[in-house]
Structure 1
Amino acid sequence: MSASFASRSPYEVLGVTATSSDEEVRRAYRQRLRETHPDTGGSAVLFHAVQQAWEVVGTPEARAAYDSGSGSGARGADFGGGGRASAHPRAESSSPKARSYGHPGGEEREHYITLMREWVGRGVELRDPYDAALVRSAPREIRRWLAKAIAEEETARIVSTLGIGFTVWNNVAVAKTGGNIDHVVLGPGGLFAVSSHDWGSEVRMSKGELVGEAIGDDEEPLRSLGANARALGRAVGVRFSALVVVVPDDDLAVAYEQVERGRQAGAVVIRRSLLPQLLRNGLGGSAGESIDRIFDLRSRLQSSLTFV
């Protein structure tokens, strides 16, 4: 199963709940196999997902391990910068870091904990909202907030490793739209408006926007980022070199995709592991800002930006 907190749990794939009996899980598995089998008009991707789900919760022993957070389908393992990140921050080396301001993922973690408290129930003590067994039993709508927070934290961590030539402002408020930009990144490659996501499933570009199984019909990640970037740029008096949506490597079939036409032309969705290359070299592979220009932009942004 996918390591993302936002991905469908084995129970969700099979169409049962964590409280279903072993026999109900078994019946659901057989039914889903028939429904998704490619030979009867089903989807090979879904068919494989059903088989994976059964491997994780198909026996009482495997199911007990999964429910306790110790099974082979456990989420939250540390998959490194190119894949998924863990629920808890990692220690970093003492090498010089990029300048960093704001709290990446902070708003999302607060929202996650609020929803988790509501879901657990009034009067029930929530000792550890990141307990593996508790997280995996929560609805996907709650888990996706944790996945989003971790995605932002991982992007901020990656930028921090690029050195003192870079500056990142995290969770930047955009007064005109009432929204925010996950990261404003300044470096030799230019000034970037960056949005970090983990939908827990594959995404792709279609007609200038990101689409995917877990992206809602009312979600427009690129258009939202573009609107916020334009509003912030006008307010501060800067122009962004590029709009960037970062996703886990496994969720993008190609290294990156770029919008070719329209208002979001030049915007890209990119695998997380390739983000350093883009930020260093700029869009198109050539560095975009002189040292003097970087100093000027940094001073202007530092005096103007506010945080969520």
Structure 2
Amino acid sequence: MRNANAAVKQPKNQLTRRSGWSSFINSENAAGYIFLAPWLIGFLVFTAYPIFASLYYSFTNLNPLKGLGKETFVGFQNYINMFTTDSVYYTALRVTFVYALVSVPLRLIFALLVAMLLNRKSKASGVYRTIYYLPSIVGGSVAVAVMWRSLWIQEGTINAVLQSIGIQCDWGWLTQPSTALMCLIILAVWQFGSSMLIFLAGLKNIPAEYYEAATVDGAGPFRKFFSITIPMLTPVIFFNLINQLILGFTAFTQAYITTRGGPMNETMFYALHLYRQGFEYNKMGYASAMAWILLIIVAIMTAIIFKSSNSWVYYESKGE
């Protein structure tokens, strides 16, 4: 009897499996997979594979001139050399940390100030937003970096303007170790347009009733700013801080075009040093190891910000 029941159940199970498979590959699902395929293929080929390949190559002495498959496994030697024999590595770390930790707060401060100005009702506010956003569109391009270099050289526009107002200055801003990094930080601050637009959207989402109630209670502009604007903008500040910090640690174009890492490696960004090791010195395995250390550094910095966000980020929905 049990055998008969099993014989009866078996076709039903097979039918269920067949119907499930047919529903899995029906026309609607098939269309979805077809539309998903370009992104999925692109992700696997251009993102997932390079990530895992770079992890493997970081343990080899890969030389791109010799070709793939001819590299030798060297274990952790690249990582050991990074911290023991590379005389420029710690300089690149220091320069990158200074650049990121100085430029990011300044950029966010300027972005917030400009967003507050543009938040006022004005017929020309749309034009002003576009003008202020333009540097962020073209700020990382080669053309703007070349233009920036022409501004700060010894015969550049900055010295010409200073001389026109009676200040005799023939200082080579990009050729002096004391001022070269400052010029790149100013360039980074100048590119505050994207953060400004995000702050502007956040400002428009703050209910006007809060400011009206504060006015009735006698609060002034500064009290409103620190008691209403800043707390309500903390989620936006958090979002901008994460994005801009990642951009700061991965900066490359500015230093590559304007200074090539000089003078005396005072603008040798981490990404620029990585690029030189991989594409100029053909140490692609060592460059891969540097990339993974940079990933770890950015992940740690991001984790610290996420961990601290519980004490300073205010979410109205949570009532915190």
Same fold per superposition (TM over 0.5): no
Higher percent of residues as helix: 2
| Higher share in strand | 1
TM-score of the aligned structures, taking structure 1 as reference length: 0.22
- Give the number of the structure with larger relative contact order, counting CA–CA contacts within 8 Å between residues 6 or more apart: 2
Structure with greater Cα Rg:
2
